[in-house]
C-alpha cells in the first residue's frame, strides 16, 4: 500500500516552506516517524516524519523547491522491500534504465544547487557546469554529482574547489550560495525595522561585582536544587521585568495610530541556531523564578541547535534581550525585533578602572549595556530611566527580591 508524505502544519500564518534536504532516498527503508526530509520555513528548520514504516518511494519535489502546507512531497510503500545498495561504478555491467533526457547548464553558467548537492560538489571538486542534471527541470541531484566524481576525466572536467565564473583568475574565485529562507526573512525584518522605526540607542555601564559574587556563592546549591546553572541571563531577565513595570512604554508597541501597552512581560531571548539567531519567547517572565527562567533559556538553546523549536515559541514577544557578550562583543547597537519597540543588548565583562565613592580607583568587572528603541514611542528620558533601573538592580541584586 502506498502512503502519502505531505507537508505538515508549519505554525500560525506560515503557509509554505522550502525543501532543504532529502534525508531518505527512493528505495531506502523507513521506520514510522523517522525523518525523511527537512523543510526550511521563515524561522526554523522542520523535519518531516514518515507517516508509516516501509520503503521510500519517489520524491515528488526536489531540494530547493517551495511547497505549501498539505502538499504531496513523496510516498512510502508499506509493502515494499528496501532496494539493495548500489554496487561501485567499476562493477556495474547492466545498462541503466532509460530516463528523460537530462539537460546541461550552458557553458560557464553555474546551475542552482541545493545545500546537499553543493556540499558534494565542493567535497569532490567537480565542475557543476559540466554535469548533466537528471533532476526536475534539469537540476543536479546528489547521484549526478557522485556519478561525475566516479567518472572524472570521462564526462567531466577538473573543477576548482568552488563554483566559479569561467573568467575568474586563480585565487579570485567566488562562490554563489542561495540565501536560505530563514536568512531571507532575517534580512527583510531587519531592513523593515530600519525603514519603519525611528531607531535610537542609549548606553550605560554596570558593575557586575555583586552579581558575580552572588553566583559564586550560590551556584553549587542552585544547581543541586534546580538541576540548572545559575547564569547572568536570569538576573537581567528579572531586572528587565521590574524596569518594564516602571517604564511601560518600553514594553509597548505601535499599531496604526494606537499604542498597545502590555501588563505582562513576554521576553524574547536571542539564541544561536545553525542558520542564524532565533528569538524564542519566555512567556510571563515577570511571574517566573530564577530557576524557571534559566531552565527555559537552557531548553531553548538546546532545541535551537537541534532545529526543534516550534513556530509558536518564537511569536508574540513584547521585549528582547540579546547577549552579544558570549561572542566577545564590547559594545553594539542592536536592532529592534518588530513589532516590539525596544531591545536590550548585553556585552562582555571586562575589568576596568572605576572611581569608587571614597575617591579611590579600583579594577571592577564592568559591562556596557545598550538599549535600542523606537523614538516614535519611547522618549529619551524613558530610555535612560529604563537602563538606570537595570543598572540599579544588577549592582544591588537584593532589589530583585524585594521589588525595588
Each residue of 192-212: pLDDT tens digit? Answer: 888 888 999 999 999 999 999
**Residue extent(s) of CATH 2.40.50.100 domains in the chain:** 2-77
Residue 190: pLDDT band (50, 70, 90) is confident
Res 390 pLDDT > 70 = yes
* CATH homologous superfamily for the domain 182-402: Chloramphenicol acetyltransferase-like domain (3.30.559.10)
Contact 228, 234 (CB under 8 A): no
Q: State the chain's mean pLDDT as an integer.
A: 82
Phi first, then psi: give them for residue 242, nearest 5 degrees. Answer: -65, -45
Residue 379: active-site member: yes
DSSP 281-337: EETTGGG--HHHHHHHHHHHHHHHHHT---GGGGS--SEEEEEGGGGT-S-------
**Residue extent(s) of CATH 3.30.559.10 domains in the chain:** 182-402
Q: What is the pLDDT, as a whole number, of residue 109?
A: 52
Residue 42: pLDDT band (50, 70, 90) is low
How confident is the model over 83-103, as pLDDT tens digits?
555 444 444 444 444 444 444
Q: What is the pLDDT, as a whole number, of residue 384?
A: 96
Higher pLDDT, 320 or 156: 320
Exactly one of 4, 33, 137, 379 is catalytic; which is it? 379
Q: Which of 41-55, 165-179, 306-320, 327-341 has the highest mean pLDDT?
A: 327-341
State the average pLDDT over residues 122-148: 75
The cell numbers describing 171, all together, are: 585565487
Exactly one of 246, 375, 396, 403 is catalytic; which is it? 375
| Structural fold of domain 2-77 | OB fold (Dihydrolipoamide Acetyltransferase, E2P) (2.40.50)
State the average pLDDT over residues 60-76: 88
Phi first, then psi: give them for residue 343, nearest 5 degrees. Answer: -145, 135
How confident is the model over 311-359, as pLDDT tens digits?
788 888 999 999 988 888 999 999 998 899 999 999 999 999 999 989 9
Enter the pTM of the model. Answer: 0.64
- Residue 155 DSSP code: T
Looking at 84-98, 116-130, 256-270, 380-394, which range is the least confident one? 84-98
Q: What is the pLDDT, as a whole number, of residue 111?
A: 60
Amino acid at each position: 500500500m502506498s502512503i502519502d508524505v505531505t507537508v505538515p502544519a508549519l505554525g500560525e500564518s506560515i503557509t509554505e516552506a522550502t525543501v532543504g534536504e532529502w534525508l531518505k532516498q527512493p528505495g531506502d527503508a523507513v521506520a514510522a516517524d523517522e525523518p525523511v526530509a527537512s523543510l526550511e520555513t521563515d524561522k526554523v528548520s522542520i523535519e518531516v516524519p514518515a507517516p508509516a514504516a516501509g520503503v521510500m518511494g519517489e520524491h515528488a519535489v526536489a531540494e530547493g523547491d517551495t511547497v505549501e502546507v498539505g502538499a504531496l512531497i513523496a510516498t512510502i510503500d508499506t509493502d515494499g522491500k528496501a532496494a539493495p545498495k548500489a554496487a561501485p561504478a567499476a562493477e556495474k555491467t547492466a545498462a541503466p534504465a532509460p530516463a528523460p533526457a537530462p539537460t546541461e547548464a550552458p557553458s560557464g553558467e553555474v546551475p542552482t544547487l541545493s545545500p546537499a548537492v553543493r556540499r558534494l560538489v565542493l567535497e569532490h571538486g567537480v565542475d557543476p557546469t559540466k554535469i548533466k542534471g537528471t533532476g526536475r527541470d534539469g537540476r543536479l541531484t546528489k547521484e549526478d554529482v557522485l556519478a561525475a566524481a566516479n567518472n572524472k576525466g570521462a564526462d567531466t572536467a577538473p573543477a576548482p574547489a568552488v563554483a566559479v565564473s569561467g573568467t575568474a583568475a586563480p585565487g579570485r574565485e567566488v562562490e554563489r550560495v542561495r540565501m536560505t529562507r530563514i536568512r531571507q526573512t532575517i534580512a527583510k525584518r531587519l531592513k523593515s525595522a530600519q525603514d519603519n522605526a525611528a531607531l535610537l540607542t542609549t548606553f550605560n555601564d554596570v558593575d557586575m561585582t555583586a552579581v558575580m559574587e552572588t553566583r559564586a556563592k550560590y551556584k553549587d546549591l542552585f544547581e543541586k536544587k534546580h538541576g540548572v546553572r545559575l547564569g547572568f541571563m536570569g538576573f537581567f531577565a528579572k531586572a528587565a521585568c521590574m524596569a518594564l513595570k516602571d517604564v511601560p512604554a518600553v514594553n509597548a508597541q505601535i499599531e496604526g495610530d494606537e499604542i498597545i501597552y502590555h501588563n505582562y512581560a513576554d521576553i524574547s531571548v536571542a539564541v544561536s541556531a545553525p542558520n542564524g539567531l532565533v528569538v524564542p519567547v519566555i512567556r510571563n517572565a515577570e511571574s517566573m523564578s530564577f530557576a524557571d527562567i534559566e531552565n527555559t533559556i537552557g531548553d531553548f538553546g538546546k532545541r535551537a541547535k537541534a532545529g526543534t523549536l516550534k513556530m509558536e515559541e518564537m511569536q508574540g514577544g513584547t521585549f528582547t534581550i540579546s547577549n552579544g557578550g558570549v561572542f566577545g562583543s564590547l559594545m553594539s547597537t542592536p536592532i529592534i525585533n518588530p513589532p516590539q519597540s525596544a531591545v536590550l543588548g548585553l556585552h562582555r565583562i571586562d575589568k576596568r578602572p572605576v572611581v569608587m565613592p571614597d575617591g579611590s580607583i579600583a579594577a571592577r568587572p564592568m559591562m556596557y549595556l545598550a538599549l535600542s528603541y523606537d523614538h516614535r514611542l519611547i522618549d529619551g528620558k524613558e530610555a535612560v530611566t529604563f537602563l538606570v533601573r537595570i543598572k540599579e538592580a544588577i549592582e544591588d541584586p537584593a532589589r530583585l527580591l524585594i521589588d525595588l
